[in-house]
């Protein structure tokens, strides 16, 4: 399963998700910063449909909303 998290560091909702990644110690989520790399933002809007972070792509399918992302991560621990 391919996991990609679109985020930027000054976003408090992104920090919430990043804290969960740190807490769980999982290493299977690729971080894509939308401020550092405009191509990431363009891809987020093109493929996700919304210019909003955080967004977790699960095999290319977008999941928005930090609390929903955290819930998904907890229900799908790294194997």
Ligand X SMILES: N[C@@H](CCC(=O)N[C@@H](CS)C(=O)NCC(=O)O)C(=O)O
Q: Does 15 bind ligand X (CB under 6 A)?
A: no
And the tokens for 39?
A: 């191509």
Nearest residue to 31 (alpha-carbon basis) of 56, 65, 64:
56
* Rounded Cα gap, residues 42 and 20, in angstroms: 26
Q: How far is the CB of 1 from ligand X (least distance, A)?
A: 21
Q: Does 54 bind ligand X (CB under 6 A)?
A: yes
Give the count of beta carbons closer than 10 Å to the beta carbon of residue 58.
14
Q: Does 53 bind ligand X (CB under 6 A)?
A: yes
Size of the site for ligand X (CB under 6 A): 8
Q: Does 51 bind ligand X (CB under 6 A)?
A: yes
The site for ligand X (CB under 6 A) is made up of: 11, 13, 51-54, 65-66
């Amino acid at each position: 399963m391919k996991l990609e998290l679109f985020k930027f560091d000054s976003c408090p909702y992104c920090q919430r998700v990043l804290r969960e990644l740190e807490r769980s110690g999982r290493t299977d989520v690729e971080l894509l910063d939308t401020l550092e790399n405009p191509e990431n933002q363009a891809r987020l809007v093109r493929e996700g449909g919304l210019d909003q972070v955080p967004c977790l792509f699960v095999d290319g399918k977008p999941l928005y909303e930090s609390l929903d992302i955290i819930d998904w991560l907890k229900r799908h621990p790294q194997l």
